[in-house]
């Protein structure tokens, strides 16, 4: 058994079948991850890759968007500009049908990052993204929520889009299949326990393969032994109320200029609700009636 792969065809571009949606939901429930073939056209992926590598090569990504840089692997927020403003990317209808089936009707973009594993990057620690724990602090002691949150439906899903072919050598993302079901226990398992109880799968494949993973699934980047950097996109979608605590000090999490936001069709605008350009600014301008 391994993580399910759904291959999309031209037929799916019109409407996903109920059976495909069921496969996606079942795969996310069972493994906390599902892989896709042909979600995006290769020509678009090549444009996204050029844009990311241009910003990487010029140093601009690190200078302006750096979120973390550990062991030769860095993550940076990307602006919705150039090819990232193409609706075939951010408003891909197949993608949104699947997201609706997982996150309900009111989700939004949580962030758009690229993670670049440089040649020589080491193994990243196993982790989950953005846990919800509902802890309490009572008389100086942290108390975990005693109930079992394992059955919660997903509150955030990442679409990982590798911008190159990924093999065992150049730093695939490893996913511990099914571990999302253990992540929100009152006592979450440690690294050794996860490795013992859940099978690991390295997400390899040619350019064009992408995958969803539940925010709660244990995962981590593997070493890059190749000579080229390995860029992936981490396109995060969250229920509208969720904010990733790991990005607490990152502002903005969603970067889009006001003039570009105006070009986004109305039906997609809510996706960008976390961008500062979408927010109503209060107490900023002098009110006409104030003295
Ligand atoms: O580099 C990867 O494959 C995974 C990156 C990741 O999970 C992270 O940076 O949090």
Residue 288 has a pLDDT of: 62
pLDDT at 246: 93
**Ranges in the chain, pLDDT < 70:** 285-291
Q: Are 64 and 182 in contact (CB under 8 A)?
A: no
Atom of ligand 1 minimally distant from the CA of 172:
3
Q: How many angstroms separate the alpha carbon of residue 175 from the centre of ligand 1?
A: 10
Q: Tell me if the domain spanning 5-278 has CATH number 3.40.50.10880.
A: no
C-alpha closest to that of 74 among 171, 139, 152: 171
* Per-residue model confidence (pLDDT) at position 289: 63
User: Among 67, 77, 115, 231, which residue has the most ligand 1 atoms within 8 Å of its CB, making it the best to mutate?
Assistant: 115
Task: Establish whether residue 73 lines the binding site of ligand 1, counting it when its CB lies within 6 angstroms of any ligand atom.
Answer: yes
Q: Are strands 156-162 and 66-70 parallel, antiparallel or unpaired?
A: unpaired
Evaluate: CB of 115 within 6 angstroms of ligand 1: yes
Atom of ligand 1 nearest to the CA of 121: 1
Q: How far is the CA of 141 from the centre of ligand 1 (A)?
A: 32
pLDDT at 287: 59
Residue ranges of alpha helices (H) inside the chain are: 10-14, 18-31, 42-57, 60-65, 87-90, 93-103, 191-197, 258-262, 266-269
Using CB atoms within 10 A of its CB, is residue 137 exposed (0-12), middle (13-18) or buried (19+)?
exposed
Q: What is the pLDDT of residue 274?
A: 97
Q: Whose CA is nearest to atom 2 of ligand 1?
A: 221
């Amino acid at each position: 058994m391994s993580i399910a792969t759904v291959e999309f065809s031209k037929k799916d571009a019109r409407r996903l079948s109920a059976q495909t949606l069921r496969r996606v939901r079942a795969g996310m429930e069972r493994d906390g991850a599902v892989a896709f073939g042909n979600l995006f056209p290769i020509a678009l992926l090549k444009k996204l890759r050029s844009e990311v590598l241009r910003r990487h090569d010029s140093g601009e990504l690190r200078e302006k968007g750096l979120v973390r840089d550990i062991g030769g692997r860095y993550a940076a927020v990307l602006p919705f500009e150039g090819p990232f403003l193409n609706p075939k990317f951010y408003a891909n209808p197949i993608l949104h049908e699947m997201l609706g089936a997982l996150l309900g009707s009111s989700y939004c973009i949580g962030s758009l990052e690229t993670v670049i594993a440089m040649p020589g990057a080491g193994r990243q620690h196993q982790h989950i993204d953005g846990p919800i724990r509902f802890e309490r602090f009572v008389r100086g002691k942290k108390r975990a929520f005693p109930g079992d949150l394992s059955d919660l439906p997903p509150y955030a899903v990442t679409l990982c889009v590798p911008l190159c072919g990924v093999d065992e050598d150049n730093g695939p993302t490893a996913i511990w299949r099914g571990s999302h079901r253990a992540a929100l226990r009152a006592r979450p398992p440690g690294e050794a326990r996860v490795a013992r109880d859940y099978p690991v799968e390295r997400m390899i494949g040619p350019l064009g393969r992408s995958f969803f993973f539940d925010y709660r699934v244990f995962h981590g980047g593997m070493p890059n032994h190749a000579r080229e950097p390995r860029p992936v996109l981490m396109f995060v979608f969250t229920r509208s109320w969720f904010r990733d605590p790991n990005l607490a000090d990152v502002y903005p999490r969603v970067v889009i200029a006001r003039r570009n936001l105006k070009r986004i069709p109305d039906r997609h605008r809510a996706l960008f609700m976390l961008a500062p350009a979408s927010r109503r600014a209060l107490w900023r301008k002098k009110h006409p009636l104030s003295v």
